[in-house]
Structure 1
Amino acid sequence: MSAIPLTSVGISLFLCTLLFFFSLQLQANSQTINDEQSILLKLKQDWQSQPPMDSWNSSLPFCKWTGITCNNGGSITAISFYNWNITRKIPPVICNLNNLNHLDLAYNYVTGGFPTFLYNCSKLAYLDLSQNYFVGRIPGDIHHLSRLNHLNLGANNFTGDIPDAIGLLSDLKTLRLFMNLFNGTFTPTIVNLSNLESLEMAHNNFIPSKFPDEFGQLKKLTYLWMTKTNLIGELPESIGNIMELRHLDLGFNNLCGSIPNSIFLLNKLENLFLYDNKFSGEIPRRIESLSLKAIDLSSNNLTGTIPEDFGKLNNLTVLLMTDNQLSGDIPASIGRLPALKNIRLFNNSFTGVLPPELGLNMKLENIEISNNRLTGKLPDHLCAGGVLTGVVVFSNNLGGDVRATLGNCSSLTSVQLSNNGFSGKFPTNLWSAVNLTYLMISDNSFSGKLPSKLSRSLTQLKIDNNRFSGEIPSDIAFSVNLVVLKASNNQFSGKIPSKLTTLPYLTTLSLAQNRLSGEIPSNIVSWKSLTSLNLSRNQLSGQIPGAIGLLPDLIDLDLSENQLSGNIPSEIGRLRLTFLNLSSNQFMGKIPDEFENMAYKNSFLINPGLCADNALLNLRVCISEPQESLKLSPRLLAIILTSSGLLFLVTLLSAFLFVRNFRRRRHEQDRAKWKLTAFQSLPFAESRILSNLTHRNLIGDGGSGKVYRVPYNQLGGVVAVKKIWNNEKLDEKLEKEFLAEVQILGTIRHSNIVKLMCYFCSEKSRLLVYEFMENQSLDRWLHRKKRGLLLPSDSGQDAVLDWPRRLHITIGAAQGLCYMHQDCCPAIIHRDVKSSNILLDSDFNARIADFGLARMLIKRGVPESISAVAGSYGYLAPEYGYTTKVNEKVDIYSFGVVLLELVTGREANDGGDNTSLAEWAWQHLKDGKPIVDALDEQIKEPCYLAEMSVVFQLGIHCTSSLPSTRPSMKQVLQVLTRYIPLQQKVVRYDFDIAPVLTSSTYLSSNQRSKKRSMDVDDIVSCDV
């Protein structure tokens, strides 16, 4: 009986003990929760309470705070601060979260080296630090993060090698190191990562290396991205051992030899990108990779035919084989692939006909097979799927008529059939297709009349060299967006419709060699953008309207072979024409004074009524009207005439002897006066430059000399000539700047550095001849309104550089400076980087100019001694005030000021209260004001604010007062190029059409999310 109470007591003691320990555990958990909340609040304080942290307050449990994930016990396991605008370093306290296994800080602005204190995060399995500003090397002891299965360090500024320790992370499934500054090797220990599924090392400048044969051991690898990683040599057959591979991208390398047969035996492969290499030979015949969805073998040296097995790829959506040497027929079976959307085979030697069923049972979107030798007709059913946007088949031997079924395709945006043998009437409904932007059908045998209305979306219409007839419809003005209209060499008749003059964006108008009559429309002042006007070889009559002189951008004018009459209006002399032809008309009177120049000696031929003061212009010399003759006696008149005759003969003989001797001496002096030194084959004669240094060609006048715009032929060739002079002798400072300019520009070549073609030397003068920059300087575009300046050709004064164009200019200038600092040996510092020394060509590509203050560094990174402060106020780095030794960091500072100019619209010395722009920008941030308040109101659109804010911060970073804390130009360029597509490839279109599709289009959605470009999800989309 006594055993029962003892047992009860034992049970009671056990339960009490259990409750005691459970209470202790609850207290411990409560303490842990309180500690973790304190850690988060410390993070909020250190990171200055970014907007997503607004929910971090006591009204909610911290497990419900934005970016925080907890386990069932209420302890933090995951932190995701993706794109939170964090600019400060990671606080080490984050590793006091004992259960943290997931950390995502991608798309921020975190700086510094790799945070090795993360080794203390003992459970960390997922680490994403991509798209930040980390620098330095990946540490050699990174294997201490032993539990990692996902490591993403992409799009940073890491340098050096990929360390061997990476191969010790045995649990790693994903390794992303793309878009860094690695300049060493990638470790062979990667092959030890037996669990690796995704390897991404693209866009790094590794030491040239072969594709590792050992990669065949990565049996679980599904995704391999090594675009632009300096791969050389042949691809090993062992690549076929990666049996799980689904995505293979080795584009933009220097791989050679044949494409391994084993690649096409990978039966799970979906995306194969081997573009822009040096592969040769034929494409393997045996294809077992029936899962393939996208193939890009463009820009190689492949020969032979497309294998018949390609017709078995029922999942194929994209087929790109452009720019090779492929030949033979395009297999008809390709036209039956049900998933095919895009086919691009241009710039090959294909023959035969296009697959007749192409488009019939598929949703075909784009076909580009230009520059081949194809025959036959266009397939009848290209638009059967109703989504066709582009038909680009120019430069083949195609013929027949264009079926009306194509005209029913409302989705079409681009139709390019030029240089073929098409005939018959062009489909009426295609002319007015609602989305049609580019219509190019030149050099065929199309006939018939133009419809009353064309598509309103058209920007380029090229129908020249056909057999079109009838009148040009007046409602052509309905196509209000037309930029280029070429309809020469047809059979058009009637008058030029006056409504044609209402097209505001027209830059090129060519109606030459038709049967047009009547007068040139007089109301042409709306053609503010017109650069080229060709109405030659018609039957036009009447006078040239004086309003033509008001077209500010017109540089090419051809009205030859008409029946035009009257005087040539003096207003034409206002134009800065590089080509003028008014020959074979019925003009009368004196030509405008501005054309009394040998450059226009062939511009007025076969106009018997014209005259000129210059006898060398192939025109009769103008003679003043004679005064009424005095009445003299016959004898006195005879004496005067006889005496005058004798005097004339003596004078003529003396003048002849004098002129002959003078010309001989002058010729010898001129030859001795100027010495020409050329850096390339010159497209002009020496005399063309020297004879055109006239006042009418003057475009700039500064303290060191003058700048001239000199046309050198009638095809639009123009150069800029800078004349450095002194009345007595060359100034020592100017001579030093001249020598620096010649020494540097004569030895370097880069697409973003202005090209010095040649120079002339004489005893007192120097001439520097450069390529001409049509859009002058960035400074003029940014600040013209404040200074009352005019844009090129005094036009478009309301024009504003939008943000995409400013970014394009910024990247170009950065590329030029990066080349000078990083790739030149010895390195070059410019010392006068400013917006007025960034010139812009016709496409707004940037060129660094004015190297008069530049210096070559004896050793990269070692300061160069200077004797005096050089540069311009507002752009000068602070170290000029306390040292005579400078390095490339002075250029970084000046470029940072240019970045601030671009995003704020302010001038370099516009900081208010006697401060510079850089000081103003620093103070703006110091005061805690939003960056968006500092941005240029003219271009501030929601879709660009994120990018503009980044560039503003980059400008701040570049203008740091300490040179050592400024980034290198390579790092600056790395940041800027995040905003352009990773694999942007130029597609060769007819004439000047922009690219529509790139290989980057086919990246997976997962891959696309890693691109920091203008279409990231967090930026409002813009319609451009």
Structure 2
Amino acid sequence: MFKLALPFLFFLFLSLSIPLKVISQDINSERTLLLNLKQQLGDPPSLASWNASSSPCGWPEIFCVNDSVTQLYLSDKNIVVRIPPTICDLKNLTYLDLSWNYIPGEFPTMLYNCSKLQYLDLSQNYFVGQIPDDIHRLSTLTYLDIGGNNFSGNIPPTIGRLSELQTLFIYQNLLNGTFPKEIGDLSNLEKLGLAYNDFIPMEIPQEFAQLRKLKFLWMIETNLIGEIPEFFNNFSSLEHLNLAGNNLVGGIPSQLLSLKNLTHFYLYHNKLSGEIPRPVEALGLVEIDLSMNNFTGTIPEEFGKLQSLVFFNIFSNRFTGELPPGMDRLPNLTTFRVFRNKLTGFLAPEFGLHSKLGEFDVSENQFSGQLPENLCAAGVLAGLVAHTNNLSGQVPKSLGNCRALRTFQLQNNKFSENDFSGEIPPEIGNLIPTFLNLSSNRLTGRIPYQLNNLAFERSFLNNSGLCSDDPVLSLPSCSYKPSGPKKLSSKLVAMIVALALLASLVILLLTLFVVRDYRRKKRERYLSAWKLTSFHRLDFTEGNILSNLTENNLIGSGGSGKVYRITVNRADENMSLVEWAWQNFSEDKPIVEMLDPQITEPTHLEEMIMVYKIGIVCTRASPATRPSMKEVVHVLRGYCPPDENGARKLGSDFDVAPLMGSATYLSGNNKRSKRDDSDSIIYNVV
């Protein structure tokens, strides 16, 4: 039994090893083929990873199945030569991408030899000439993209024989003939792109009705004429429809917006008319552009429920009525351009609050009310255009935070004006938009200094309340305003009131100062009228006085100054004036005898006696018993000169004589006192 098993195992080993050897030989031969292809393509640096020491299945541009090359990705490899015929020696090649290179020449018919080729992308190269009539020989293709080249002439009818084709892109060429109705025979076609070709004007062929699997139709600027066929209502799989930039007329097919898979809808720049058909069941719409047509009627209310809507353009039509409720709350809306219609009503206040609004253009309509405050809530608003409406109120200050704002227009044109008022928010000066127009409003105040340049020379016309610090804008100078009736702003009124109050306060203070100064001068004039008469002739100099102004000689101080005791010598005796006065007073000598004999005017005798007595009291030995300067001044002021009838105002309140009884004087070791029943001067003058 063991003898029978041995031949069987040997046969099994041979059976397994032969296929491995064949596979190894195939991958080696494909590596050699690819290295030769690299040389034929000019050995571009982008293919440096292709080498003889590694398996092709590990190269970035290669995809293998069962160790055989099936897909070749050569997009954007800087290839500048024609495609080598040897490329089809890769027998299992199904996928070939040569897009975004510089490949010249005519359509590479040698690719017909790639018998298993399903995906062919030759877009964005330099191919020229006509599309070959025998292109149907690429019979296994499901994907063909030859867009972005220089092919010219017609699209051959034989292209309709590529029965497996699911995607056909021939956009952006120099085709100037026709596109064949036979394209309608491509029953498996899902994506068709013929855009940006200068075809002979023609209608959409009726045969296209057979394209029931169509999801993507891109025929912008292809010289289409006539109406959009009603069979478009049957394209239930349609997601993307772009027929913009043609000469289509008529209306939108009645059921087109009932296609629930429709997400992108572009019909702009045609000659279409009529109303937008209802009902709108394509609630997954992401982008809508119906601009530059002749549409009329109102905007469907369903548009306010398009939660996925990002891009909304319906400008340059004749739409009327108000905006649908809810459009300001759409969470994904970034572009909203409805200008040049006949729309009315208010702009909903929540625009910009729920989405990253980048473009907002509602100009040349009949909107009223205020501009929405939250347009730049997300901080990405780049364009704000609202001119030629009936809008009023102030420019929202929040716009000053729109760092991305580049276009800002609130001006008028030949039809009408807006009515914005108030000052231009200073923060707008920090934006430096590339285009700014606030003309023909009722704006007031100073132009932000950042906008004082020639770039904005015509941005502020017909705003009589605006001024500028720079004459370059041809606006009145802010330092001069022409006279005339005008409504003052609240800030200006507040400023005027504040200045008036300040001026009143200054005037009041000045008045108080003048009155006080007047009283002081009057008092000085009154005091200066007194005639000073010396009591005794003394022989001393200024030096004798100044040398005695020391703290030891300080008698007392008060609010008006200090009193010092000055010791001077008489010519005939060695005694101070104070000691001499107290000696005579203690000896009960008459005061009259102590006066200077040269004083011969009896009219001032009583005043001199009063001053003598006050001097005695003010030179008491104990400072505590001396009156204050205030009390002395009070007594002196109370002792007035005779009135016009000769009467004196003396009275007991100002009589100093009874106050002398308690005076005490100490001189050396001797103590003398003179007492009286009356109180001291202090209690008589208070």
TM-score in terms of structure 2 length = 0.66
User: What are the ranges of 5 or more consecutive residues in structure 2 without an aligned counterpart?
Assistant: 484-686
The one-letter code of the counterpart of 2:242 is D
Residue in structure 2 matched with residue 187 of structure 1 by the alignment:
180
Instruction: Give the number of aligned pairs.
Output: 479
Is structure 2 residue 485 aligned with structure 1 residue 491? Answer: no
Question: Are 1:147 and 2:132 counterparts?
Answer: no
Query: Which of 63, 67, 79 does residue 57 from structure 2 map onto?
Result: 63
Which letter does structure 2 place at the counterpart of 1:428?
A: P
Of 20, 28, 45, the residue aligned with 1:51 is 45
Question: 1:380, 1:405 within 8 Å by CA — same for their partners in 2?
Answer: yes
**Residues 1:35 and 1:59: Cα distance change in structure 2 (over 3 Å):** closer
**Structure 1 residues 395, 352: closer, same or farther in 2, change over 3 A?**
same
Q: Which residue, 427, 443, 446 being the options, matches 1:446?
A: 443
Q: CA 1:14–1:188 in 2, change beyond 3 Å: closer, same or farther?
A: farther
In the alignment, the residues of structure 1 paired with residue 17 and residue 371 of structure 2 have an alpha-carbon distance, to the nearest angstrom, of 83
Aligned with residue 357 of structure 1, among 347, 350, 374:
350
For residue 346 of structure 1, report the CA deviation from its aligned partner. Answer: 1.6
Letter in structure 2 aligned against 1:421? N
Find the partner of 1:31 among 10, 25, 28: 25
Alignment correspondent of 1:222: 215
Q: Do structure 1's residue 256 and structure 2's residue 253 form an aligned pair?
A: no
Question: Paired residue for 1:464?
Answer: 461
Secondary structure of the residue aligned to 1:491 is coil
Please tell me whether the aligned partners of residues 444 and 467 of structure 2 are also in contact (alpha carbons under 8 angstroms): no
1:312 paired with 2:309, answer: no
Rounded to whole Å, the distance in 2 between the matches of 1:459 and 1:30 is 74
Amino acid at match of 1:432: G
Matches within 5 A, 1:180-579: 180-419=173-412, 420-434=417-431, 436-453=433-450, 462-469=459-466, 472=469, 487-488=473-474, 490-494=475-479
Q: Secondary structure at the match of 1:432?
A: helix
Structure 2 distance, partners of 1:335, 1:285, is 21
Q: Contact 2:68 / 2:92 at 8 angstroms: preserved in 1?
A: yes
Deviation at 1:25, TM superposition (A): 2.3
SS at match of 1:209: coil
What SS class does the counterpart of residue 70 from structure 1 fall into?
strand
Identity rate of aligned residues, in percent?
46
How far 1:494 moved relative to its partner?
Answer: 4.7
* Corresponding residue number in structure 2 for 1:100: 93
Q: After TM superposition, give the deviation of residue 201 of structure 1 in Å.
A: 0.8
CA distance in 2 between partners of 1:42 and 1:129 (Å) = 21
Task: Write the letter of the residue equivalent to 1:268.
Answer: N
Taking a change above 3 Å as real, the CA distance of residues 179 and 470 of structure 1, as seen in their structure-2 partners, is closer
**Which whole-Å CA distance do the structure 2 matches of 1:323 and 1:329 have between them?**
16
Contact 2:424 2:443 in 1 (8 A): no
- Of structures 1 and 2, the larger Rg is shown by 2
Whichever residue aligns with residue 491 of structure 1, its letter is: P
Q: Are the counterparts in 1 of residues 27 and 55 from structure 2 also a CA contact under 8 Å? A: no
Paired residues for 1:748-827 under 5 Å: none
User: C-alpha displacement at 1:460, in angstroms?
Assistant: 7.1
- Offset of 1:207 from its aligned partner? 2.3
Say yes or no: does 1:176 pair with 2:169.
yes
Q: Distance in 2 between matches of 1:459 and 1:18?
A: 90
Contact 2:46-2:77 within 8 A present in 1 as well: yes
Say whether the 8 Å CA contact 2:97–2:122 is kept in structure 1.
yes
For residue 376 of structure 1, report the CA deviation from its aligned partner: 2.0
CA contact (8 A) 1:434 1:456 kept: no
Aligned residues of 1:445 and 1:467 also touching (Cα < 8 A): yes
Offset, 1:360:
2.9
Q: Contact 1:332–1:357 at 8 Å: present in 2 too? A: no
Answer yes or no: is the 8 Å Cα contact 2:392–2:421 preserved in 1.
no
Which residue identity is paired with 1:446? L
- 1:417-453 CA distances to partner (integer Å, 9 max, x unpaired)? 1123334323434333346443310111101123455
How has the CA–CA distance of structure 1 residues 60 and 314 changed in structure 2, closer, same or farther, with 3 Å as cutoff?
same
Secondary structure of 1:224's counterpart equals: strand
Alignment-mate amino acid for residue 445 of structure 2: G
Q: Is the 8 A contact 2:432 2:451 kept in 1?
A: no
Write the distance in 1 (CA, Å) between the matches of 2:100 and 2:7: 57
Distance 1:315 1:423 in 2: 33
CA 1:472–1:147: 2 relative to 1, 3 Å: same
Aligned to 2:35: 41
Q: Which whole-Å CA distance do the structure 1 matches of 2:17 and 2:423 have between them?
A: 88
The 5 A counterparts of 1:96-175 are 96-175=89-168
Unaligned runs of 5+ in 1: 475-484, 496-513, 517-1024
1:85 is aligned to 2:73 = no
Residue aligned with 1:406, SS:
helix
Q: How does 1:975-1014 map to 2 (within 5 A)?
A: none
Task: Give the aligned residue type for 2:18.
Answer: L
Q: CA deviation at 1:140?
A: 2.7
Compared CA separation, residues 453 and 145, structure 1 to 2 (3 A): closer
CA distance in 1, matches of 2:55, 2:454: 55
Q: Secondary structure at the match of 1:351?
A: strand
Deviations 1:785-808 (A, max 9, x none): xxxxxxxxxxxxxxxxxxxxxxxx
Q: Is the contact between residue 217 and residue 241 of structure 1 (CA under 8 Å) also seen in structure 2?
A: no
Shift of 1:289: 0.7
Q: How does 1:606-625 map to 2 (within 5 A)?
A: none
Are 1:17 and 2:2 an aligned pair?
A: no
Shift of residue 196, structure 1, vs aligned partner: 1.9
What is the CA distance between 1:319 and its match in structure 2?
0.9
Paired AA for residue 24 in structure 2 = S
Aligned AA for 1:246?
E
Does structure 1 retain, via aligned residues, the 8 Å contact 2:424–2:447? Answer: no
How many angstroms does 1:190 deviate by? 2.2
Q: How does 1:659-678 map to 2 (within 5 A)?
A: none
Alignment of 1:840-851 (within 5 A): none
Question: Relative to 1, partners in 2 of residues 1:51 and 1:468: Cα closer, same or farther, differing over 3 Å?
Answer: farther
Q: Deviations over 1:13-65 (max 9, x none)?
A: 44433433433323322222222122112212212111112222234333233
Structure 2: distance between partners of 1:242 and 1:211: 14
Per-residue CA deviation, residues 71-97 of structure 1 (Å, 9 max, x unaligned), is 2x3221111111122121111111111
CA distance in 2, matches of 1:453, 1:377: 26
Give the CA deviation at 1:458: 7.7
Q: Deviations over 1:993-1015 (max 9, x none)?
A: xxxxxxxxxxxxxxxxxxxxxxx
Counterpart in 2 of 1:822? Answer: none
**Over residues 670-720 of structure 1, what are the superposed CA-to-partner deviations in whole Å (9 max), with x where a residue is unaligned?**
xxxxxxxxxxxxxxxxxxxxxxxxxxxxxxxxxxxxxxxxxxxxxxxxxxx
Q: Distance in 1 between matches of 2:83 and 2:456?
A: 51
CA 215–472 in structure 1, closer or farther in 2 if over 3 Å, else same: same
The Cα shift of 1:143 comes to 2.6
Q: CA deviation at 1:377?
A: 1.6
Cα-Cα RMSD: 2.6
Greater shift in the superposed pair: 146-155 or 210-219? 210-219
Residue 548 of structure 1 corresponds to: none
User: Per-residue displacement from partner, 1:240-269 (whole Å, max 9, x unpaired)?
Assistant: 211111111111111100111221111111
Q: Residue 297 of structure 1: CA displacement?
A: 0.7
Counterpart residue identity of residue 34, structure 1: N
